[in-house]
Structure 1
């Protein structure tokens, strides 16, 4: 009996290891291929070669001059960072009000947040662009191509998710802590900043990261609502392929090198906030 249980346990352990290896290869092989192509000359990539005859380190040097990669990465950091910070702060205030107060229209508002999540973003592109053009012509202001326009656009998609995410964290904070602080003379604002904010910090970090990624990875809205001076790196990467569409050779090696380079800020953010992200996703709040 004990021997059969030991064999069964060993079988499941080996099966788990095999599945982990397969899962790891499924993730790492595409990344390895991107690295390989980034070091391959463009002529060999176009010819279907899998392994390069020589390492093309020039791809990592030329990618900065082929397009304005550094400028585009800076725009992405600015736009995505502002989106993440604003979405987190607004969601913090909104989730606190929704979880601590009862008022008319509260439930319809919460339902509207869910409804916003069900609408495909591509359906919003044309109406949004038409509205912006109408406002431009009516007020004689330039909106398309401005940083504030694309940031506000991303906020419309980031805020519903951010509010619901922080609502789940807010529900785990004992209201008795706030009542005790108020009995000691704290105002609502002091309760929020001194009691609630430290406890909900992991949720705020998770909210910031997801909101940041929404702006960083978007191509659809950035392609329409930005200009060359405000375009993000997701739009700038398309320029490496545009040369092929105009009759030239596609800079595949530079494209892959630029793709790897543009992913560094996201990796840095995950490494920097790793402790908060893991703790926030696993527990839903910091333990007191």
Structure 2
């Protein structure tokens, strides 16, 4: 009986299959949200990469090279800008020095001529006639006693001051150049100081002699036709013309005093300035020109 009952139970299950299957289908239904989450997780897992140390090393190396190359480019640009600026300043400074070098040579020649004229006057006043003076006396009086500006040397300092005051000397890497610019400043100051001393000496000893001795009729003759006294004297020196020169009150002249005044002026002022201070300036000037020609290919 038990066996029959089991068979009947099995037969009943076969006769109602839908009632048995429906719950199974419902319990196995897929949750769409869960399916989506499963797909998303699968998607991310598909693109994930594991980098080894070599990958990080190459990334670092490329970044380092990019930064380093940028630094080099900036450094080269700054270096070029400094070099161009240095050449521009060097060129201007070079021509300032070159022009002053030419002027210094001319002033030295004028000083030598003035010194020679004063020595002539010193010798003449010792024992020569003061009532009937020759043409050479008049010319040497002008060159030695009257003229001042032909022997005055005034070096320019525009570029030198710009280099020193603006900090532009840093563009010049030559240490000797930097040292010489300092020496040039000192030399220029000494030249101006010495010429200021000459002016004081001239006012005290020479100007009174001009007032006492000079023939202003001769001066008027030299300046005729609207010439400067310098042009007139130069033309007179080259000509065969004789223009009288008369010393005022020759009987009242103290020859010894004049000789002492002229000797002091030429020896302690003119010659000393030329041999010491202008010479020093010219030496420094020459060396700076040599360095600038060598460093920046200037002519």
**TM-score range for the pair, normalised by the shorter chain length:** under 0.3
Identify the structure with bigger relative contact order (alpha carbons < 8 Å, sequence gap 6+): 1
More helix by share: 2
Rg larger in 1 or in 2? 2
After TM superposition, the score normalised by the length of structure 1 is 0.23
